[in-house]
Amino acid sequence: MGSVWFILQYMSGFGNEHVSEDPRCPGALPEGQNNPQVCPYGLYAEQLSGSAFTCPRPTNKRSWLYRILPSVCHKPFKPLEEGHLTHNWDEVEPDPNQVTVPERAPGPARRTGLHTLCGAGEPRGRNGIAVHIFVCNTSMINRCLYNSDGDFLIVPQQGKLLITTEFGKMLVEPNEICVIQQGMRFSVEVFGETRGYILEVYGAHFELPDLGPIGANGLANPRDFLVPVAWYEDRQVPGGYTVISKYQGKLFAAQQDFSPFNVVAWHGNYTPYKYHLEKFMVINSVAFDHADPSIFTVLTAKSTRPGVAVADFVIFPPRWGVADNTFRPPYYHRNCMSEFMGLIKGHYEAKEEGFQPGGASLHSMMTPHGPDADCFEKASKAKLEPERVAEGTMAFMFESSLSLAVTKWGLQTSNQLDKNYYKCWEPLKSHFNPNCK
Ligand SMILES: O=C(O)Cc1cc(O)ccc1O
Ligand SMILES: [Fe+2]
């Protein structure tokens, strides 16, 4: 029989080896081995590998799932309509201009699904990223999704997500993020209009950044990452349960007769997890000058080049600004990385207007950007007292070493409102006076 029993409980720690049993079946985890001839309670053992079997220990990831039926019990996959999900980066001609995306990007009539804004690289080559906007007001009923191509870092901006995974349930609210890694099945329940951002990374998992001279503590601390506890349902679905796979950039659906959330116990270090952005321990300049935003990195997906990320997830959280004799907002710059920015709530410090919660901007590789004219004038004259910066705000950046292409949907969406973004810098005037230092 099915059961609606669950409690929202989490285990803490980033990348830990966890063990978890649904309390309705104590002793469901085999003792001392992964594959007994017969598993407790007549369960099937199934390994989910998140790294090559042979990866060195620090990057070796796998979990063992003990389930009522193995995942292999499904009918063949058939192609499914993709909507605005794509990994075709040649839909529109390259364009280096600064792009903003309005906060109310038009959704389709059903208002559900993933809309790809930009990206680069290729799931088959296992190197690349995609940035999607999700919009939905309908829960996934008897449907789940897994991503064969890579990991999803999900940033809800409006509405809570109750995410059921093979590892248990997680409630993820705006100002929290979660990561659902490659292959993990999940289904999302929503409670009204819901939207947010997704960073998809092919071929690398997210890690905590190294701390270098910061020392052993700081930024996102490992203990603040939360992992769900085992929860199962033994639910037959005679009408058919649909398992959707995102595979090589396309969607495919397979039918099965039962809920895939039938994992009674699991152990391992390859799990979904969530993190509350308020827990971030901010480090910044306490003397003078503006530190680079890498100081705000929450998670990084490393490339094979030392120090270079496929993608970093960076936040701009509330903090004190105390630097003396300093232009405190972000400096003007041109970057060899691509900068995609979003706003969960509040008001971004470098833009007086035009960047609303739910909106986005893309500053492409080497395209100049920085504070708008109002921000520059104000910050150049401001009395430099200690002040709270970004109070009530949470902006974030997906920063990538890849050169991102905008999709057709992204271009149409951005064109709706803001052909005029460049005008925010037009009023910047020369203050140069060779006779006055
Ligand atoms: O462009 C942006 O707004 C992001 C950003 C912020 C900052 O403080 C320094 C550099 C940078 O790219
Ligand atoms: Fe920038």
Q: What is the pLDDT of residues 66-119, one digit of tens each?
A: 999 999 999 999 999 989 999 999 999 998 988 888 776 544 444 568 999 999
User: Around ion ligand 2, which residues have CB less than 5 A away?
Assistant: 339
Is the predicted ipTM greater than 0.90, yes or no? yes
Give the contacts of 150 (CB within 8 A, at least 6 positions apart): 123, 182, 200, 201, 202, 203, 204
| Model pLDDT for residues 339-383, shown as the tens digit of each residue | 999 999 999 887 767 688 999 999 999 999 999 999 999 999 999
- How confident is the model at residue 110, as a pLDDT? 46
Q: What is the pLDDT of residue 2?
A: 43
Pocket test for ligand 1, best of 100, 294, 316 (most atoms within 8 A of CB): 316
Rounded Cα distance, 337 and 416, in Å: 26
Q: Is 290 a catalytic residue?
A: yes
Residues contacting ligand 1 via CB (< 6 Å)? 293, 330, 333, 339, 350, 363, 369, 397
Q: Of the residues 290, 347, 363, 431, which is catalytic?
A: 290
Bind-site residues for homogentisate: 348, 369
Q: Give the distance (Å) from ligand 1 centre to CA of residue 123.
A: 29
> Between these two residues, 97 and 187, which has the higher pLDDT value?
187
What is the per-residue pLDDT across 264-275, written as a single tens digit (0 to 9) for each? 999 999 999 999
In this predicted model, what pLDDT tens digit does every residue of 2-25 receive, in sequence order?
456 788 999 999 999 999 999 999
Per CATH, is 75-262+270-277 categorized as 3.30.2180.10? no
pTM for this prediction:
0.96
Q: So what's the pLDDT on residue 183?
A: 98
Question: What's the CATH architecture for 278-419?
Answer: Sandwich (2.60)
Q: What is the pLDDT of residue 285?
A: 97
Among the bound ligands, name the one nearest to the CA of residue 329: 1
Q: Binding site for Fe cation, residues?
A: 333, 339, 369
Instruction: Give the pLDDT confidence of 393-421 residue by residue, as tens digits.
Output: 999 999 999 999 999 999 888 765 567 88
Q: What is the mean pLDDT of residues 33-54?
A: 98
The pLDDT of residue 239 is: 75
Instruction: Please report, in range form, the residues annotated as the binding site.
Output: 333, 339, 348, 369
- Please identify, by atom number, the ligand 1 atom nearest to the C-alpha of residue 397: 4
Pick the atom of ligand 1 nearest to 331's CA.
9
Domain 75-262+270-277 matches domain 278-419 at the CATH topology level: yes
| pLDDT > 50? residue 1 | no
* Spans of all domains in the chain: 75-262+270-277, 278-419
